[in-house]
Amino acid sequence: MARHLITSALPYINGIKHLGNMVGSMLPADVYARYLRQRGHEVLYICATDEHGTPAELAAKEAGLPVDTFCGQAHLAQKAIYDGFELSFDHFGRSSSAQNRDITQHFARKLHENGFIEERAIRQVYSLADERFLPDRYIVGTCPHCGYDKARGDQCENCTRVLDPTDLIDARSAISGSSALEVRETKHLFLLQSKLADEVERWIDANGADWPTLASSIARKWLTEGLQDRAITRDLEWGVPVPADTWPELAADGKVFYVWFDAPIEYIGSTKEWADAAEDGEVRDWKSWWYEADDTVRYTEFMAKDNVPFHTVMFPATQLGTREPWKKVDYVKAFNWLNYYGGKFSTSQRRGVFTDAALETLPADYWRYFLMANAPESDDTSFTWELFAAGVNKDLADTLGNFVNRVLSFSRKRFGDQVPAGAAAGAAEAKLGEQIAALLAEYEGHMETLQFRKAAQSLRALWSAGNSYLEEKAPWMEIKTDQDGAALTLRTAMNLIHLYAVVSEPFIPASAAAMRAAFALPGDDARWVTADEARALDAVPAGTPFTVPPVLFAKISDEDLAAYIERFGGDPDATAA
């Protein structure tokens, strides 16, 4: 079995994340990690809050808190939400950790030793009102490419073009709003990406052939445009400090590393945090995953498309330049954007459904299933409350939830609280078993290739097969003339419920646990279902005690839908009309 290292792009510390952030990295990584664990693989799923850079300092300033205090509180707030979504991180760390500081400084020293970091005098924007040099994100203005008037000095949120602060039109300080800016000389460290470009391209040629088109095309675009040497230090109070033993002058000036330099390194730092957190004599070897990792380690990264260049070009260049055997990504699963009624979710503008409000509104499984069934894999997709309600009602409430409830309720009413025996399986059950085995293989294939929308379709087809079998056999009619036949039908359907509980767990873990707990099977340790087991449908034998769980999925009524639209906003055009 392979050892699977999985990371999802680190969520920024400044504020609660929206559904677009969730489906763009963390949720699909969790679904994949859960699936691989069920299939018997060793999995290490790592994530962390991204706590450095301008957003953290600006958010702390707005909150009136020291930045370290703000980040500590925000980390706990975000972790509570991810726990609510049942994200199964092996470790959810912090980029401000001592482990990340030490490893980031180690990377910088090695790059310097190998001639890939250079100290340069540059001209940088200085704010007269704030009496300080402004890092790129402390400068806002109009993007010269698309005209977006809230573009940051490092990247335009609207068109994703990478920028320099001096590119902005009508630039102003994000701290004071002052446009009294001038350019002065200061010194910074530069990562010499131009010297590593050929190595990065050869690495992508050798390793990126199987990446999704979205990921590979973005990486190729950066390479085609030419890798530029990039400043990797900033003038901030909060960040990984430049080590004084290597750059004493810059350290004395308070320079810290650029957030996009240290944030990917935090995947390694968070893994070391995980290792250092071991208790009761347990030994966790973080280096076996990252440093001289053997061929059994397969590393998969999950991220939205705006993060792709940094993970496919800048971070690999950083790793290659150390001349050390750091594990590099094998597969980049990139996502397009989930929009909200055709417009972007936006943390800064509070547009769309945010994850805390989502959990306050409906259970996590509703969101988990819908988001993955509509994941923006091939193109941007749009969240609407109408589409969400239709998906929940049709797939979860009607197809799965209703099947579970009516099978168990009817069987209890007519046969008592144990799985009925009835007749031996016949032609209908053999046909069903073959159908389930084929659909299960299809589902597994999509999960193995990280095609989540297709996997959700196959999972839905598995649920639908049970309903078709039930409608064909009609045990509520069958029982009038053939009690043993009706008992067989219900026993088979109960075995489908157990199968659904096992294979649905990556998508809807809480509901899967409730389905599985309906049956009193003390020895039930099945992690997955084999093709033979799917054909046999006999994991739950006759005589097994069972209970009827509460309604798994409540339907979203028209009144609910209207209330959600009123609270969160719906189609702007419809509202205007």
What single-letter DSSP state applies at residue 26?
I
At residue 350, the pLDDT reads 61
Which amino acid, residue 56? A
Q: Exposure of 552 by Cβ count < 10 A (0-12 exposed, 13-18 middle, 19+ buried)?
A: buried
Sheet-wide strand order for 343-344? 343-344, 338-340, 381-383
Q: Is 156 annotated as a binding residue?
A: yes
pLDDT of residue 141: 95
Q: What domains lie within the chain, and their CATH numbers?
A: 3-106+261-382 (3.40.50.620), 110-256 (2.170.220.10), 384-536 (1.10.730.10)
Q: Is 143 annotated as a binding residue?
A: yes
84 touches 361 (CB < 8 A): no
Largest interatomic CA distance in the chain: 92
Whether residue 47 is annotated as binding a ligand: the answer is no
Instruction: Indicate the pTM of the whole model.
Output: 0.92
CA distances, 180 to each of 171, 177, 183, 194 (Å)? 9, 9, 10, 34
312 annotated binding-site participant: no
Paired with 112 in beta bridges are none
Place of tokens 């008992």: 487
The sheet carrying 117-127 orders its strands as 132-133, 117-127, 181-191, 230-231
pLDDT averages per 10-residue partition of the chain, 577 residues:
94 92 97 98 98 87 93 97 98 98 98 98 89 84 94 87 88 91 92 97 94 94 93 92 97 93 98 96 95 94 95 97 98 96 72 92 98 96 96 98 97 97 94 98 98 98 98 96 97 98 98 97 92 96 97 97 88 48
Compute how many other C-beta atoms are within 10 angstroms of the C-beta atom of residue 448.
Answer: 13
| Closest C-alpha to 518, from 414, 390, 418, 395 | 418
- Report pLDDT for 2: 86
Give the number of C-alpha atoms closer than 13 A to the C-alpha of residue 271, restricted to the C-beta side. 20
Q: What is the pLDDT of residue 575?
A: 41
Determine the angle formed by the axes of helices 483-503 and 452-473, rounding to 10 degrees: 170
Residue type, 143: C
Using N-to-C axis directions, what is the helix angle for 483-503 and 427-448, rounded to 10°?
Answer: 10
